[in-house]
Homo-oligomer: A and B are copies of this chain.
Amino acid sequence: MLADKLTKLLKHELKDIAHSTRPADLVHFGQDWTRFYTPNPSVIFYPDNTEQVQHIMRVAYENDQAVVPSGGRTGYSAGAVATDGEWVISLVRLNQIGDFNAVNQTVQVGAGVITEQLQIFAEEQGLMYPVDFASAGSSHIGGNIATNAGGIKVLRYGLTRDYVMGLTVVMADGELLHLNKGLVKNATGPDLRHLMIGSEGILGIIVAAEMKLIKPPPAQMVMLLSLGSLAAVMQTFENAQRRLTLSSFEFFSDRALKRVMAHRSLDNPFDDVHPFYVLLEFDEDEDAAMAVFEDGLEAGEITDGIIAQSLDQAEQLWQYREGISESIAEFTPYKNDISVTIDQVTDFMQRLDTLLVKEYPDFETIWFGHIGDGNLHLNILKPDKLPVADFKQQCETVNDHVYGLIRDLGGSISAEHGVGLLKKPYLSYSKSAAEIKLLKAIKNSFDSKGILNSGKVID
């Protein structure tokens, strides 16, 4: 859209909607946590309510104007990046928690409600919103739904999808959909709510949701174990799953631990250096926890361990895991967020390890992941002097090997980060041509002008 046409729209049709064209705002709201693209939107809108989102979309639709829906911008796949003069619709003001219904155990939330805000609200009702991850303090519920966010407790509580009882969505032409409206049972044909979940803004803009809360579990216990080998990770998981009621089973490498210790000035939790660590959270049961530890020691799988003796210590142990992403952010990490079925994790990690040593001899690789659900985060750190574009290109060369392996195992090239712009070229490693064709047809049915998050996920 020509600059003077936009200026005119902002002065007339869109004048009642808060917006900004200041360069600093364009940069800030024109990107997420992905660092491989130059933000270049033409305006940022901050609608105050659903009607304003509809109004913006009606005007955009009339003018064939591309828009980017924008949440907490904590994404790692450039799903919320605007690189080409798009209008960014920031949902940051739709941050109200609305009616709570104690009988249904559901609550109405705006798309801009922050994950942690919902977690705290749930606690205040004696309930729990169990979807949790490192960026919970800034990610939005709308964005969580648009990527079907997972995190560190999927093993026990599932994904964001499992908590969405209703969705309010603005379509490309400004039409409003109220999907499912909080019903537990509703067998009236294909459920568009479930098509919207994980659709990354290409089918519609999620403006509100009805979220389910659950009863909290009994008191939790946290244990950190050091392991001698990759094979020990899955063996320890299987034993822990048998003996304990697990909420989390998180894995990280010694390099990851070192980065967190340096970044947060933490002491090493162990006296010795070990190649791998797992962090377990589970329903309090000290005897069973000791049994897991002793079984592992005896089998030579576990080399050392710590059981948190207080909530404070539990939080401290979690820091070693939760601090990883932020500790490597300054290294412009190239993030592989990949998954296979749980039983394939050991085999996959070993094959991947061999591949990495061969293909990335000069790069530092940081591993961590959610072993209990088959999801690994493999981060390649950029060497200080290598230009970003060169680094990205070199990483992409290796992707063909990593993703080829994933395709062979029937895995996912994006377990929880979404596809966005960054993973789009690799979608065919996880989805067949027939599937992608169907997705394109659906996209075309929902957004025939291609104005909703255009160029993301699929072409």
Contacts from A to B (Cβ < 8 Å): 101, 103-104, 106, 147-148, 150, 154, 158-159, 161-162, 171, 175-179, 181-192, 194-200, 202-203, 234, 238, 337, 339-343, 370, 373-375, 410-419, 423, 427, 430-432, 434-435, 438-439, 441-442, 444-446, 457-458
Contacts and interface: CB of A to CB of B under 8 A. Distances in A.
Given A162-B162, A411-B183, A188 B343 contact: no
Nearest to A346: B103
Contacts of A158: 162
Given A188-B412, A189-B199, 9 more contacts: A104-B341, A104-B342, A182-B410, A185-B339, A185-B374, A187-B417, A189-B419, A190-B196, A191-B195
Contact of A198 (B183, B190, B431): B190
Contacts of A446: 438, 441
Contacts of A417: 187
A189 B458 contact: yes
A117 to B, nearest CB: 23
A94 B117 CA distance: 48
Contact of A438 (B188, B192, B342, B414): B192
Contacts of A457: 189
Contact of A412 (B179, B185, B341, B342): B185
A289 to B, nearest CB: 18
Contacts of A441: 445-446
B192 A194 contact: no
A447 B199 CA distance: 22
A445 to B, nearest CB: 4
Contacts of A182: 341, 410
B191 A343 contact: no
Contacts of A162: 158, 162
Closest 8 CB pairs of A and B: A441-B445, A194-B194, A103-B343, A185-B415, A184-B373, A186-B412, A181-B410, A190-B199
B434 A177 contact: yes
B445 A438 contact: yes
Contacts of A184: 154, 339, 341-342, 373-375
B191 A198 contact: yes
Contact of A187 (B186, B411, B416, B434): B416
Contacts of A198: 187, 189-191
A52 to B, nearest CB: 19
A370 B159 CA distance: 25
A223 B381 CA distance: 60
Given A104-B341, A182-B341, A439-B192, A419 B375 contact: no
Given A183-B339, A343-B104, A188 B154 contact: no
B159 A185 contact: yes
Nearest to A412: B186
A177 B197 CA distance: 20
B186 A432 contact: no
Contacts of A444: 445
Contact of A183 (B175, B183, B340): B340
A442 B187 CA distance: 17
Nearest to A424: B189
A427 B192 CA distance: 14
Given A187-B412, A343-B104, A414-B188, A434 B175 contact: yes
A374 to B, nearest CB: 5
Looking at A162, A186, A413, A415, the one whose CB has the most chain B CB atoms below 10 A away is A186
